[in-house]
Amino acid sequence: MTYDVMVIGGGIVGMSIAYHLVRAGVKTLLFDRADPGRATAAGAGIVTAETNGHAPDFWLDFAAEAVAYYPELVAGLQAAGAGETGYAICGQLVVAVSEDERQPFAQAWQWMRQQQRRRGSPAPDDLVEISPAEAGTLFPPLAAVRRALYYRQAARVDGRLLTQAMRQVALSRGLVIENQSVEKLVMEAGAVRGVVAAQTIYAATAVVIAGGAWSGQMASQLGLALPVKPVRGQIIHVELPGAATGNWPLVTAFHGHYLVPWPDGRVVMGATVEPEAGFLAQATVVGVQEVLREGLRAAPGLREAEMREIRVGLRPTCTEDGLPVLGRVPGWGNVFVATGHGPYGLHLGPYSGRLIAAWLLGEQTEPAEHAFRVGRFERG
C-alpha cells in the first residue's frame, strides 16, 4: 500500500498537517514516537502577535494570519465533534514590574503603536495603557507594577488538547497513526519513496518532516544541514484552589517570563530558555528556582499557590535566524520540512500545518522567496 503523504512527527505542527490533509481526502500516515521533551506537551499556550515588541514586519504579518486562523480552526474541530481545545480570548497584561523594565516597556509600547498604524489593527480600544491599580484588578496576584498595557484580544490555547482534538477528527477521517520511530528515509532515483520504521518499509508519494527539535536527524539523510536545535524550557503549573481565574488575562513582563491563567484555578508560570541543555528533557533545581523567582516577582500573590506539575519541553529553534523552516526541500520535489517554530509553535503551528497541506495539495503554490523557505540555508 502506498500512502499519498507520510508525516514524521505528531506534535502540533505534524498533527495540523495531517488534519488538513485528511480533511481534503488525502491518504495520510503519521508517525510519532512521542519523545520525552516533545514541545507541544509543555507549551504555555500564548497566542498573540501584537505585543511581541521586536519582531520583523513579515513575521508579524504571518503571526497575525495565524492568530486570525484560530477561530476558524477551533470552530471546524467543534463542528466535527472534537473535545475541548482550551482556546479562548483571555486578554494580556504587559507590565513593567521593576525600574529596569521601564525602558523596554516604553520601547515595546512605541513599537506596538507603530505596528498598529502600519497594520490598521488592533483597534485603538483593544490596546491601551492602564493604571497599575486597574492591572491589579484584572490579575489580583499582580505586584505593584510601574506601568501596564492591556491588550484585549490576546488568546491562549492548550497545546495538548488542541493536538488531541485534531488527532481525534483526523482519525475519524481516515488518518493512520503509527506510534513508532522513523529510522530512515527510503531514497531511490533522486526521490524519497517512503520510510523505514520498526524494520518495515512504508511507501509514500510525499513525505513531510515535522519532527520538532529532532527534525535534523531526518533532514541530514537528504544532505540538508538543518540548523534547528532544541531549546529547553521548564514551566510550572500551580493552583489557587477555588480562585475564579477564568477571566484573568495572561501576563508578560520584561525579564522574559510570563503567567498564563486557566479557568480551573491553575496558573502556568514560565519559562526557562536553555539552548545549552541539548536534548536533556529534565527539570533542574536552578531552572525551577528561576521560574518561581520570576513568577513571584511579577505576581507575589501566587506565593501560597499549590505546586501541581513541572513540565519540560524542547523548543525546535532555528539557530541561524530564529524563524520557522517551512516548505519543500530543494532538490527533493516530494519532501517538505515544517519545524523551527521555537517559542511560537502553538501560536503559528496550526496555520503552518494548513499552509504545508495547501502546498502539498497544489491548492496554493509555495512562493519562491518566502522568509521561511528551506533553501535559505544553502550557501554560495
Ligand X SMILES: Cc1cc2nc3c(=O)[nH]c(=O)nc-3n(C[C@H](O)[C@H](O)[C@H](O)COP(=O)(O)OP(=O)(O)OC[C@H]3O[C@@H](n4cnc5c(N)ncnc54)[C@H](O)[C@@H]3O)c2cc1C
Pick from 237, 266, 347, 373: which binds ligand X (CB under 6 A)?
347
Interface with ligand X, residue 341, by CB under 6 A: yes
- Report, in Å, the least distance between residue 233 CB and ligand X: 3
Pick from 33, 152, 173, 376: which binds ligand X (CB under 6 A)?
33
Pick from 345, 354, 355, 373: which binds ligand X (CB under 6 A)?
345
The three cell numbers of residue 69 are 486562523
Interface with ligand X, residue 316, by CB under 6 A: yes
* Part in contact with ligand X (CB under 6 A); list of ranges 54-62, 88-96, 275-283, 336-344: 336-344
Residue matched to cell numbers 485528511: 22
Q: How many binding residues for ligand X (CB under 6 A)?
A: 45
- Report, in Å, the least distance between residue 290 CB and ligand X: 12
- Report, in Å, the least distance between residue 11 CB and ligand X: 2
Pick from 12, 90, 142, 240: which binds ligand X (CB under 6 A)?
12
- Report, in Å, the least distance between residue 244 CB and ligand X: 22
Kindly tell me which of 94 and 213 has the beta carbon lying closer to ligand X.
213
Helix axis angle for 57-79 and 159-172, nearest 10°, is: 50
Interface with ligand X, residue 295, by CB under 6 A: no
In Å, how far are 3, 128, 267 from 308, measured between CA atoms? Answer: 42, 34, 10
- Report, in Å, the least distance between residue 272 CB and ligand X: 7
- Report, in Å, the least distance between residue 153 CB and ligand X: 16
Pick from 115, 339, 355, 356: which binds ligand X (CB under 6 A)?
339
Instruction: Name residues contacting ligand X, limited to 252-291 (CB under 6 A).
Output: 270-271
303 phi/psi in degrees, rounded to 5: -55, -40
Kindly tell me which of 104 and 322 has the beta carbon lying closer to ligand X.
322
Pick from 122, 136, 216, 343: which binds ligand X (CB under 6 A)?
343
> Pattern 177-216, binding to ligand X, x per CB under 6 A?
----xx---------------------------xxxxx--
* Part in contact with ligand X (CB under 6 A); list of ranges 56-64, 280-288, 309-317, 367-375: 309-317
Residue matched to cell numbers 510550572: 236
- Report, in Å, the least distance between residue 13 CB and ligand X: 4
d(CA 260, CA 88): 12
- Report, in Å, the least distance between residue 61 CB and ligand X: 16
Closest residue to ligand X, based on beta-carbon distance: 345
* Part in contact with ligand X (CB under 6 A); list of ranges 44-52, 114-122, 219-227, 298-306: 44-52
Interface with ligand X, residue 19, by CB under 6 A: no
Pick from 38, 167, 328, 354: which binds ligand X (CB under 6 A)?
38
Interface with ligand X, residue 315, by CB under 6 A: yes
Per-residue 3-state assignment (H helix, E strand, C coil) for the chain: CEEEEEEECCCHHHHHHHHHHHHCCCCEEEECCCCCCEHHHCCCCEECCCCCCCCCHHHHHHHHHHHHHHHHHHHHHHHCCCCCCCCEECCEEEEECCHHHHHHHHHHHHHHHHHHHHHCCCCHHHEEEECHHHHHHHCCCCCCCCEEEEECCCEECCHHHHHHHHHHHHHHCCCEEECCCEEEEEEECCEEEEEEECCEEEEEEEEEECCHHHHHHHHHHHCCCCCEEEEEEEEEEEECCCCCHHHCCEEECCCCCEEEECCCCEEEEECCCEHHHCCCCCCCHHHHHHHHHHHHHHCHHHCCCEEEEEEEEEEEEECCCCCCEEEEECCEEEEEEEECCHHHHHHHHHHHHHHHHHHHHCCCCCCCCCCCCHHHHCCC
Interface with ligand X, residue 31, by CB under 6 A: yes
Tell me: cis bond preceding 343? Omega within 30 of 0 counts: no
Contact residues toward ligand X (CB under 6 A) are 8-14, 31-35, 38-40, 42-46, 159, 181-182, 210-214, 218, 233, 235, 270-271, 313, 315-316, 339, 341-347, 349
